[in-house]
Structure 1
Amino acid sequence: MDATKFNQLVSSVPLGKKLPEAIYLHKDCFPELDNSLTQFILAVGSALKIDPNEWHIVKLSRNEFRLSLLSYPTFFTEAYPSLTQSVTVDLNKLSHRIVDYKDSDNPPILHRKETMLPAQHECFDEFKAITEEGENAGLYQNSRMIGFKQSWLRTIEAHGYTLVDGRLFRSSAVIDQSNTTVTSIDRHKTAIVRHELSAPMKQLAKQGYLNGEHTIFDYGCGRGDDLTELEAHGLDALGWDPNFRPEAEKVKSDLVNIGFVINVIEDKVERDEALLGAWELTEKLLVVSAMLANDKFISQFTPYKDGVITSINTFQKYYAQSELKGYIERTLDENAIAIAPGIFYLFKDKLEEQRFLSGRFKRHHSWKQLTTPTPTSEEQARLLFTKHHNLLNRFWDKCLELGRLPALEEFTETPEIIAAIGNAKKALKLLLQVQGEQATKVFEAAIATRREDLLVYFALCQFEQHKGYTHLPNELKRDIKVFFDTYKVAQAEAKTLLYRIANTQEIEQACIEAHQILPASKLNDGHSLELHKQFLPLLPALLRVYVGAAVQLYGELDEIDIVKIHITSGKVSFMGYDNFDTSPLPTLRERIKVKMWQLDVDFFDYVDEHSRPPLINKHLLLTSTDETYKKQLSFDKRLSKLLGLNEHDNVFMSKCEFDSKLLMLNKKIIGFTIKSVT
Structure 2
Amino acid sequence: MDAKLFQELVKALKIGKTLPDATYLHKTALEKASCELFTLCSNVARALKVDTTEWDLVKLFRKEFKVAFLSYPDFYNESYPSLKQSILVDLSKLTSKITSYKDSDNPPILHRKELMVSVDDPLREHFESLTKEGELAGLYANPFKIGFKQTWERLIEQKGYNLKDGRIIKVNGDIARGNSYDELKVDRHLTAIIRYELSTPFKLLAKHNFLTGDYTIFDYGCGRGDDLRELEAHSLSATGWDPNFRPDAELVEADIVNIGFVINVIEDIDERIEALQRAYSLAKKFTVVSAMVAGESVISKFQPYRDGVLTSRNTFQKYYTQGELKVFIERTLDTDCLAIGPGVFLVFKDKLEEQNFLLNRNQRTHHWNHLTSDEKRGGSHELVFVKYRELLEQLWNKCLILGRLPASDEFDQFDALEEKVGSPKKALQIINSVSDILELEVAAKNRTEDLVVYFALNLFSGRPKFATMPERLKRDIKAFFGTYQSAIQTATEALFAISDTDLISESCLLAHSQLPSSDYRPNKHLIFHEKYLEKLPYSLRIYVGCAAQLFGELDDIQLIKIHIHTGKVSFLGYEGFEDTPLPLLKERVKVKLREQDVDYFDYVEPYNPPLLYWKSKFIDESFSDFKKQVSFDKRLAKTGIIEPSKDYGPKRIELDSLLKDQGLEVRGYRFYSI
State if a TM-score over 0.5 links the two structures.
yes
1:610, distance to aligned residue in structure 2 (A): 8.3
Partner of 2:236: 235
CA distance in 1 between partners of 2:485 and 2:396 (Å):
30
Match of 1:411 in 2: 411
Q: What whole-Å deviation, never above 9, does each CA across 1:334-365 have from its counterpart, x for those lacking one? A: 22111111111111111111111111111000
The answer for the alignment partner of 1:513 in structure 2 is 510
1:457 maps to a residue whose letter is Y
What runs of 5+ residues in structure 2 fail to find an aligned partner? 1-180
Bigger Cα displacement from structure 2, 254-263 vs 186-195? 186-195
User: 2:248 maps to which residue?
Assistant: 247
State the match for 1:375 in structure 2.
Answer: 376
1:514-533 correspondence to structure 2 within 5 Å: 514-533=511-530
Instruction: Give the Cα–Cα distance (whole angstroms) in 2 for the partners of residues 222 and 563 of structure 1.
Output: 35
SS at match of 1:502: coil
Write out per-residue CA displacement over residues 187-234 of structure 1, whole angstroms, 9 at most, x where no aligned residue.
222223333322212221222111111111111222222223222322
Query: What is the DSSP-based 3-state SS (H/G/I as helix, E as strand, rest coil) of the residue aligned with 1:401?
Result: helix
Aligned-pair identity (%): 50
**2:450 aligned partner:** 453
Q: Following the alignment from structure 2 to structure 1, what is the Cα–Cα distance between the partners of residues 362 and 452? A: 10
Aligned to 2:52: none
Counterpart for residue 260 of structure 1: 261
Change (3 A) 1:188 1:668: closer
Quote the Cα distance in structure 2 between the aligned partners of 1:249 and 1:676: 66
Equivalent residues in 2 for 1:490-509 (5 A)? 490-509=487-506
| 2:461 paired residue number | 464
Return the offset for 1:388.
0.7
Once the two structures are superposed, the pairs formed by residues 203-214 of structure 1 within 5 Å of their partners are 203-214=204-215
TM, length-normalised to structure 1? 0.70
Cα distance in structure 1, aligned partners of 2:537 and 2:435: 29
State TM-score, norm by structure 2: 0.70
Q: How far did residue 675 of structure 1 move?
A: 3.2
Stretch deviating more after TM superposition (316-325 or 586-595): 586-595
Pairing 1:581–2:596 present: no
The answer on whether the counterparts of 2:252 and 2:282 sit within 8 Å (CA) in structure 1 is yes
> 2:479 aligns to what?
482
The alpha carbon displacement at 1:331 in A equals: 1.2
Mapped to 1, the partners of 2:509 and 2:241 lie a distance apart of 54
Structure 1 CA distance, aligned partners of 2:317 and 2:607?
A: 30
SS of 1:573 mapped into structure 2? strand
1:358-397 mapped onto 2 (5 Å cutoff): 358-376=359-377, 378-397=378-397
The 3-state SS of whatever aligns with 1:531 is strand
Residue 297 (structure 1) aligned with residue 298 (structure 2): yes
Residues 289-342 of structure 1: CA distance to partner in whole angstroms, max 9, x if unpaired?
111222232223232221122233322211111111111011112221111111
RMSD: 1.9
Rounded Cα–Cα distance in structure 2 between residues aligned with 1:591 and 1:630: 27
Given the superposition, is the C-alpha separation of residues 190 and 610 from structure 1 closer, same or farther in structure 2, using an over 3 Å criterion? closer
1:611 corresponds, among 608, 612, 621, to 608
Residue equivalent to 1:399 = 399
**Aligned-partner Cα distance in 2 for 1:629–1:244:** 48
Does the C-alpha gap of structure 1 residues 398 and 181 become closer, same or farther in structure 2, counting only changes over 3 Å?
A: same
- 8 A contact 1:610–1:656 mirrored in 2: no
- Of the structure 1 ranges 409-418 and 267-276, higher mean CA displacement relative to structure 2 is found in 267-276
CA contact (8 A) 2:642 2:649 kept: no
Task: Give 1:624 deviation, angstroms.
Answer: 4.3
Q: CA deviation at 1:429?
A: 1.8
Q: Is the 8 A contact 2:337 2:347 kept in 1?
A: yes
Q: Is the 8 A contact 2:338 2:347 kept in 1?
A: yes
Tell me, what secondary structure is at the counterpart of 1:239?
strand
Q: Distance in 2 between matches of 1:484 and 1:200?
A: 36
Counterpart of 1:382, as a letter, is E
| Distance in 2, Cα, partners of 1:305 & 1:646 | 50
* 1:130-169 correspondence to structure 2 within 5 Å: none
**Which amino acid in structure 2 is aligned with residue 191 of structure 1?**
A
Q: Which of 379-388 and 595-604 deviates more?
A: 595-604
Call closer, same or farther: CA 1:224–1:633 in 2, change over 3 Å. Answer: closer
- Give the AA of the match of 2:212: N
Contact 1:200/1:289 (8 A) holds in 2 = yes
- Does the C-alpha gap of structure 1 residues 272 and 453 become closer, same or farther in structure 2, counting only changes over 3 Å? same
Change (3 A) 1:624 1:185: closer
| Pairing 1:20-35 to 2, within 5 Å after superposition | none
Give the AA of the match of 1:506.
Answer: L
Among candidates 543, 560, 565, match of residue 562 of structure 2: 565
Q: Distance in 1 between matches of 2:241 and 2:582?
A: 48
Range with bigger deviation, 296-305 or 416-425: 296-305
Q: Is the 8 A contact 1:339 1:345 kept in 2?
A: yes
Structure 1 counterpart of 2:264, which letter?
N
Query: How far off is 1:449 after superposition?
Result: 0.2
Q: Is the 8 A contact 2:381 2:430 kept in 1?
A: yes
The superposition leaves residues 539-571 of structure 1 with CA deviations (integer Å, 9 ceiling, x where unpaired) of 000000111111111111111111111111111
Q: Residue 590 of structure 1: which of 570, 587, 595 is its match? A: 587
In the superposition, relative to structure 1, how do residues 257 and 455 fare at CA in structure 2: closer, same or farther (>3 Å)?
A: same
For 1:624 and 1:316, locate their aligned partners in 2 and report how far apart those are by CA, in whole Å.
44
Counterparts of 1:567 and 1:380, CA distance in 2: 57
Report the CA distance shift for 1:372/1:598 in structure 2 as closer, same or farther (over 3 A). same
Tell me the equivalent position of 2:353: 352
Give the whole-Å Cα distance in 1 for the aligned partners of 2:621 and 2:298: 42
Give 3-state SS (helix, strand or coil) of 2:292's partner. coil
Aligned length: 494
Partner of 2:498: helix, strand, or coil? helix
TM-aligned CA deviation for residue 530 of structure 1: 1.1
What residue number does 2:138 align with?
none
Shift of 1:371: 2.5
Q: Once the 2 structures are TM-superposed, how far is the Cα of residue 645 of structure 1 from its aligned partner?
A: 5.4
> Would you say the 8 A contact 1:335–1:465 is kept in 2?
no
Alpha-carbon distance, 1:396 to partner: 0.4
